[in-house]
Amino acid sequence: MEFLLTYSWAILILVIVIAGLIVLVTIPSSVEQSSCTFPTGTVYCRDIVLGSNSVSSTIIVLIDNSEPYPIIAPNIFANSSQFSSVSAGCYPYLILEGGVAVCNTTVNFPATTGQATSGHLYFTFVPCRSANVSSCLSTPSLTYSGSFTARASKQFPANFLTPNVVLVAKNSTQTSVVGSDKLTATVTLFNSPLSGATVNFTANSLIVTLAPAYSSTGGNGNATSYVTSKAAGTVPISATFAGVSASTVITFK
């Protein structure tokens, strides 16, 4: 029994170490470790990244919507002793419960690699309990304050900061007019799968329905929806996140 207990603890420690290594290798080596937090409110600061060159710096903040309902119009303000207050645009406009807001801005603060800066964050959004954007526009906004400590990395290439979307249909040709086809959209950011991305599925046709129209990505970066046709025809389908879209075509016979 003592032998089993001893080796059980050893195996558990080994699993924890391996898990930690897996997390580390998924983070690009060019990104310095940073942190951010919102001590009050129901939003969670997942990560903050600071990329810098000899002229300016780019700040990227990932914030999870921990509210039990969608939010719209996210925006963030940041300031520190190294730079004055700046507003960072966040996307997407509509974020489902559990979804992520990606906020980025440029500040007039050139930093050397590894240089640390600390400051404050103010995250503003509009609660949208109905998930109907038009009906939520008159709802008062909420603001939560937080803080951050970031270490500068080398400035990132443009494709590192831009999300990528890939859309795949399970069957590009449906033999049944009333058949349902599974759609999978994969979203990546920082060249890695992005969880919590609110993807909007749309169809340029009145003969199909999409359910759900909005879906969040899981840990593998995948969001799913289903398309059902009411008649025969060829239908273009799109999946969009943060203004980036991917398309596919399904033929219903």
Q: What is the pLDDT of residues 86-108, one digit of tens each?
A: 998 899 999 999 999 999 988 88
pLDDT of residue 176: 62
What CATH number should be reported for the domain holding residue 54?
Answer: 2.60.40.1230
**Residue 74 sits in the same domain as residue 90:** yes
142 is a domain residue:
yes
- What contacts 248, CB < 8 A, 6 or more positions away? 167, 168, 169, 172, 183, 236, 237
**Residue 140 sits in the same domain as residue 232:** no
71-80 vs 233-241, strand pairing mode:
unpaired
pLDDT of residue 206: 86
234 is a domain residue:
yes
Q: What is the pLDDT of residues 115-156, one digit of tens each?
A: 999 999 999 999 999 888 899 999 999 999 999 999 998 887
Task: Lowest mean pLDDT of 23-27, 155-159, 238-242, name the range.
Answer: 23-27
Taking a C-beta distance cutoff of 8 angstroms, is the pair 234, 250 a contact?
yes
Q: Which helix (H) or strand (E) holds 223?
A: strand 222-229
pLDDT of residue 174: 67
| Rounded CA separation 247/201 (Å) | 10
**Residue 154 sits in the same domain as residue 193:** no
125 is a domain residue:
yes
pLDDT of residue 61: 94
Q: Total structural domains in the chain?
A: 2
**Residue 221 sits in the same domain as residue 170:** yes
pLDDT of residue 171: 81
6 is a domain residue:
no
**Residue 146 sits in the same domain as residue 191:** no
Report the chain's mean pLDDT, rounded to a whole number: 84
Q: Give the range of the structural domain holding residue 53, as residue numbers without chain letter.
A: 30-158
Taking a C-beta distance cutoff of 8 angstroms, is the pair 59, 48 a contact?
yes
60: left (phi over 0), alpha (psi -120 to 50) or beta: beta
**Residue 102 sits in the same domain as residue 175:** no
**Residue 103 sits in the same domain as residue 42:** yes
12 is a domain residue:
no
Choosing from 142, 158, 174, the residue where a domain stops is 158
Indicate whether 215 pLDDT > 90. yes
**Residue 51 sits in the same domain as residue 151:** yes
**Residue 227 sits in the same domain as residue 244:** yes
Q: What is the DSSP string of 140-201?
A: PPEEEEEEEEEEEEEPPPHHHHS-EEEEEES-SEESSTT-EEEEEEEEEETTEE-TT-EEEE
Nearest to 148 by CA among 31, 41, 63: 63
- Does residue 212 have a cis bond before it (omega within 30 degrees)? yes
2 is a domain residue:
no
**Residue 234 sits in the same domain as residue 187:** yes
**Residue 123 sits in the same domain as residue 201:** no
pLDDT of residue 140: 96
Side chain identity at residue 79, one-letter code? N
Choosing from 158, 189, 224, the residue where a domain stops is 158
Choosing from 125, 158, 191, the residue where a domain stops is 158
Report which DSSP code applies to 8.
Answer: H
Taking a C-beta distance cutoff of 8 angstroms, is the pair 214, 242 a contact?
no
What CATH number should be reported for the domain holding residue 228?
Answer: 2.60.40.10
| Rounded CA separation 103/76 (Å) | 7
Q: What is the pLDDT of residues 127-138, one digit of tens each?
A: 999 888 899 999
Higher model confidence: residue 195 or residue 10? 195
224 is a domain residue:
yes
**Residue 184 sits in the same domain as residue 122:** no
pLDDT of residue 177: 64
